[in-house]
Structure 1
Amino acid sequence: MALKTCLKANILLILTVISAVMGVTIGLLFRQLHLSPDTILLISLPGDIVMRMLNMLILPLIVASMITGIANMDSNSSGKMGLFTMAYYISTTVIAICIGFALVFIIKPGLRDTPTSSGTQSEEFHAPSAVDMILDLIKNLFPDNIVSAAIQSSHTVYVKEEFVKKESPDEYVLQNVTNSTFLVESDGRNTTEERNPIWTPKTVTRPGFNVLGMLVYCAVFGAVLGKLGDKGRVVFKFFEELNEITMGIVHLVMWITPIGVLSLIAGKILSVSDLAGMVHHIGMFLATCMAGLFVQTIVVIPLIYLILTRKNPFMVTLGIVQALLTALGTNSSAATLPVTIDCCEKNLKIDRTISRFVLPIGATVNMDGAAIVLVVTPVYIAQISGVHLSVLDVMALGVAGTLTSIGTAGIPNAAIVTIMVFLANMGLPTNEIYIIFAMDWFLGRMRTITNVNGDCMGAAILQHFFHQDGSNGSAYENSPLPQDEREMEEV
């Protein structure tokens, strides 16, 4: 009877585990059939649908959870929780950077691997600098339009321009030739006159949810709403009900996530052209990254939790297995966020005020897995290229890795773009990155598991400090907004 009750209570988790195993098995077996690209797309379709449904819920979930979570807290509690949260995330990121450096210099994967380039560096590409990325991060924190922040974010790109000779020998005009060639009429013939090209930085918008900007706006909105007291009660109730509706939809979507996990894993394995060859070429690189992710996930984060709370950290891991498996399938911290919140509140009994304050921030800021790969990859490329990195280069890479990992989007393959920027700014060849990109479908999933695990541990730590006894109670009870529900019924 007890076994039956246990199975019934964990049926969704069991189905997700089975689907993950089946996804790997089906992917490896069906590779022998050499399926067509169209067939692989059909296999991946259910997973893509689940990803779309989870992504659809991110905006209303972040808006409603952040506003209600911060409005529920008094200013003293919100300030302490905010400082603790950022201190935790920054500390774990710095530790992850140090682990990455230690492993890559001890193992030296670039001196053991002999990868073959699968592409060449494009002469028509100029990577933004680390300063550009930091400035983009700051700009996205303060969007000029909150509506556009829900659908796009700003980025810096470099456009190639050249001085084109006109009729006069001394007359030149600067024109954009990034994607075109300018022909100038001379003596009745078309000729191309070129001088030294320059790369001009331009700010462009790209499709995608500006999570940082939305978090800042919702945090300020919730703080002001909390100070309004009774005046803001109606607005607060609206967002609270929106939050409940969104979580209700999340519960429905979670029942189809096992199908999505199976589809996504099988589709990705089938889409890799030469799985064994890729693993052979960059085997030591993968081993170094996996060792760093393992140490961060199994040793460092649990040890921090154990020291701060004196509790068994692996009980937290058992409670979030569903979220970790969803992260394995989706390869996105943001897409996993609805499931992460549900696991923390339902299984770990974390106060909703804490979970809906900490986890949305963690899905954007806490990128421990990305931080490890961000420092291992440039050093690995330098090793296989025979480039010596000085102490100053390593220190600069560590600082840049810490800052940019915070702004790395919680979406698939976001770290690859940042890595290319690092390589370009350090004068390292970027042609080898294409081999790493071919295996990033696997590394990305491991990074996401590390990130989600760190988010949940952080929420559990805050639960221990802010709700370990009845003095703090529920943040909802301490809020100046909630009153007797009968008053609302009378109104």
Structure 2
Amino acid sequence: MKNISLILKIFIALVLGISFGIIFKNLNIDFPIRLLATFSELFGSFLSFIIPLIMIGFIVTGIASLGHKSGKALLITTAVAYISTLCAGFLAFSIGSYLLPKFLESNSLVIESSNEINAFFSIDIPPIMTVMSALVFSFIMGISLSKIKNSSILNIFNEFNLIVTRIISNILIPIVPIYVGAIFARLSFSGEIFSTLKSFAIVYIILFAIQIIYILIQYSFASSIKKENPLKLIKNMLPAYLTAVGTQSSSATIPVTVECVNNNDVSEKVTDFVIPLSATIHLAGDTITLVLTSMAVMYMTGRVPTFSLMLPFIFMLGVTMVAAPGVPGGGVMAALGILESMLGFGIFEKPIMIALHAAQDSFGTATNVTGDGAIAILVDKLLQDVESAKEDLNDLTVIE
């Protein structure tokens, strides 16, 4: 069972959960579904407790580690990567706002009160701080520690990051498939499951189309700067895309990505700096996924994701997932906090988001990695322009 991928585990849990719900609905027996509902309530409470800790563990060390890298290249790379992530989010919002209402049935994720299954009991586990408090604390500590050399406090946060990573890897990720299965058992028991699955299929078709469109946009822009055919640049990045689909990790794909970017004639010095950094901070694929799927869940629960609601959410996504992609499933785990605090997602919506994200995680990661190649091309050009401007300034100084 350990060798089975997370996607396959979640798929198995979905099938079993749906099957259990249908079987016990036909038998008119609700005890097993109430048992699963009790488990989902308890695990959901634990998840709400751990979310602020995950954010602190990821964001503090992520921001602090950026401060130790060279200034000019870091600033340019971070700015380009963050702008790319924002553009990906706004593209997903624009297309989602137009297409999702046409294809999704409103309230298709709302369990009818007559069929609602209640837990036997629940235990409230209040978080030690709110999500926004965790965000502000992480920013303050991360920025402050980035300015301190050989900080002993940073070592503490690095160890805390390891603890959080192990909690995700050894507790949350193994239990998440059961958690997701329990939610879908309740959905199928309520009789809403088939319209829900149909809606999910439509969401994935739109999602994959947006990811491909965004890769084309990135390389069209990069090629206009580099004066080369964008399809040739994308072709050279295909090994990295396919490797990311297999590994589901931007970090694990770095060696292949570096080789692909070198084939696109980016300077080796820039490639060796930009690609490892972008594997951490460039999250276009995850952003497209989380924006579109969160909008879909909102439409399916009878809510409308307005621009004023989604705008701050998109801006925060690029920050809250810093350093998360290196952990399998870490991207959506880090985003759960703002899904809860900014979009109002609760114990019902969060496991559905985990399932939706996990099912396409390979392709979201591949979109991130492929986009890293375009980031490297842009940074290489911008650094050349900066150096050229500096040389021109020096020449003028000499003439004077």
Aligned residue type for 2:124: E
CA distance in 2, matches of 1:375, 1:422: 12
| In the alignment, structure 1 residue 329 sits paired with structure 2 residue 321 | no
Please tell me whether the aligned partners of residues 105 and 299 of structure 2 are also in contact (alpha carbons under 8 angstroms): no
Structure 1 residues 351 and 147: alpha-carbon distance in aligned structure 2, compared to 1, 3 A threshold: farther
Aligned residue type for 2:336: M
Q: CA deviation at 1:389?
A: 4.5
Aligned residue type for 2:161: S
Partner of 1:295: 213
Name the structure with the higher strand share: 1
CA distance in 1, matches of 2:317, 2:200: 22
Aligned residue type for 1:326: T
Structure 1 residues 405 and 100: alpha-carbon distance in aligned structure 2, compared to 1, 3 A threshold: farther
| In the alignment, structure 1 residue 362 sits paired with structure 2 residue 278 | yes
CA distance in 1, matches of 2:344, 2:79: 33
For 1:398-441, what per-residue CA distance to the aligned partner results, in whole angstroms no more than 9, with x for missing partners?
Answer: 33234334564433222322443233213234413323433433
TM-score scaled by length of structure 2: 0.59
CA distance in 1, matches of 2:74, 2:373: 16
Partner of 1:437: 354
Please tell me whether the aligned partners of residues 239 and 260 of structure 2 are also in contact (alpha carbons under 8 angstroms): yes
CA distance in 1, matches of 2:332, 2:225: 34
Partner of 2:80: 88
For 1:201-221, what per-residue CA distance to the aligned partner results, in whole angstroms no more than 9, with x for missing partners?
Answer: xxxx5236xxxxxxxxxxxxx
CA distance in 2, matches of 1:405, 1:307: 30
Structure 1 residues 86 and 438: alpha-carbon distance in aligned structure 2, compared to 1, 3 A threshold: closer
Q: CA deviation at 1:372?
A: 1.6
Name the structure with the higher helix share: 2
Pick from 332, 336, 342: which aligns with 2:259? 342
| In the alignment, structure 1 residue 124 sits paired with structure 2 residue 124 | yes
CA distance in 1, matches of 2:95, 2:123: 33
Partner of 1:193: none
For 1:130-165, what per-residue CA distance to the aligned partner results, in whole angstroms no more than 9, with x for missing partners?
Answer: 4523533553563754656665428xxxxxxxxxxx
Q: CA deviation at 1:289?
A: 2.2
| In the alignment, structure 1 residue 309 sits paired with structure 2 residue 302 | no
Pick from 156, 161, 169: which aligns with 1:153? 161
Please tell me whether the aligned partners of residues 105 and 199 of structure 2 are also in contact (alpha carbons under 8 angstroms): no
CA distance in 2, matches of 1:324, 1:365: 17
Please tell me whether the aligned partners of residues 283 and 318 of structure 2 are also in contact (alpha carbons under 8 angstroms): no
Secondary structure of residue in 2 paired with 1:457: helix
RMSD: 4.2
Please tell me whether the aligned partners of residues 289 and 357 of structure 2 are also in contact (alpha carbons under 8 angstroms): no
Counterparts of 1:181-220 in structure 2 under 5 Å? 205-207=163-165
Q: CA deviation at 1:465?
A: 5.1
Q: CA deviation at 1:368?
A: 0.7
Secondary structure of residue in 2 paired with 1:311: coil
After TM superposition, where is structure 1 displaced by more than 6 Å over at least 4 residues in a row?
66-69, 116-123
Structure 1 residues 408 and 67: alpha-carbon distance in aligned structure 2, compared to 1, 3 A threshold: closer
Secondary structure of residue in 1 paired with 2:252: helix
| In the alignment, structure 1 residue 385 sits paired with structure 2 residue 301 | yes
Structure 1 residues 424 and 82: alpha-carbon distance in aligned structure 2, compared to 1, 3 A threshold: closer
CA distance in 1, matches of 2:134, 2:117: 26
TM-score scaled by length of structure 1: 0.49
Aligned residue type for 1:375: V
Pick from 338, 361, 373: which aligns with 1:456? 373
Structure 1 residues 137 and 332: alpha-carbon distance in aligned structure 2, compared to 1, 3 A threshold: farther
Partner of 1:413: 329
Please tell me whether the aligned partners of residues 241 and 369 of structure 2 are also in contact (alpha carbons under 8 angstroms): yes
Please tell me whether the aligned partners of residues 378 and 419 of structure 1 are also in contact (alpha carbons under 8 angstroms): no
Q: CA deviation at 1:294?
A: 1.9
Secondary structure of residue in 2 paired with 1:357: helix
Secondary structure of residue in 2 paired with 1:206: helix
Aligned residue type for 1:206: V
Q: CA deviation at 1:326?
A: 1.4
Aligned residue type for 1:139: M
Please tell me whether the aligned partners of residues 378 and 422 of structure 1 are also in contact (alpha carbons under 8 angstroms): no
Secondary structure of residue in 2 paired with 1:280: helix
Aligned residue type for 2:357: D
CA distance in 2, matches of 1:119, 1:361: 46
